Amino acid sequence: MRRTAMFLLAAVIFLAAFLVVGASAEDPADLEARYNAQITKKIACCKCTAQLFNTCCNPRMQQLKQMRAEQAAFYEANRQSLVNAMMTDKVNPRPDAVDYYLITRFQKSGLRASR
């Protein structure tokens, strides 16, 4: 039983290492296309959220609406520079990593709506 568990553990470690090496050796054009696609999804999500709160009268929801609209405008205006920065910084192409990177760049830009 212990031998089987050790074999399975070794197989999982080998598979994880293979996937990490395979992901890092991705074609740059492919990676750029994935970043662009994820930015497009992020823009659509921000616009959808902003539109969702169009009829809301809650002040906090209005602030959220404004921030999401600003985010969408920021991502549209800076799409290529964001893709280039992600390529330079070697951001993991996972959606959560790209999303975190984009939000961080937006926050550092100083365009964030006042609270």
pLDDT tens per residue, range 13-67: 766 655 555 555 578 889 999 999 999 999 999 999 888 887 778 888 889 999 9
What residues have CB less than 8 Å from 14, skipping those under 6 apart? none
The verdict on residue 3 lying in a domain is no
Please tell me the total count of domains within the chain: 1
Instruction: Please report which confidence band the pLDDT of residue 114 belongs to, taking 50, 70 and 90 as the band edges.
Output: very low
**Residue linked to tokens 């290529």:** 80
| The pLDDT value given to residue 40 | 96
| The pLDDT value given to residue 11 | 60
The verdict on residue 12 lying in a domain is no
The verdict on residue 84 lying in a domain is yes
The verdict on residue 38 lying in a domain is yes
- Domain, as residue range, for 70: 27-109
Contact 69, 46 (CB under 8 A): yes
| The pLDDT value given to residue 115 | 44
The verdict on residue 46 lying in a domain is yes
Q: Max Cα separation, the chain?
A: 64
The verdict on residue 53 lying in a domain is yes
Q: What angle do CA 103, 110, 66 make, to 5 degrees?
A: 70
pLDDT, mean over the chain? 83
The verdict on residue 22 lying in a domain is no
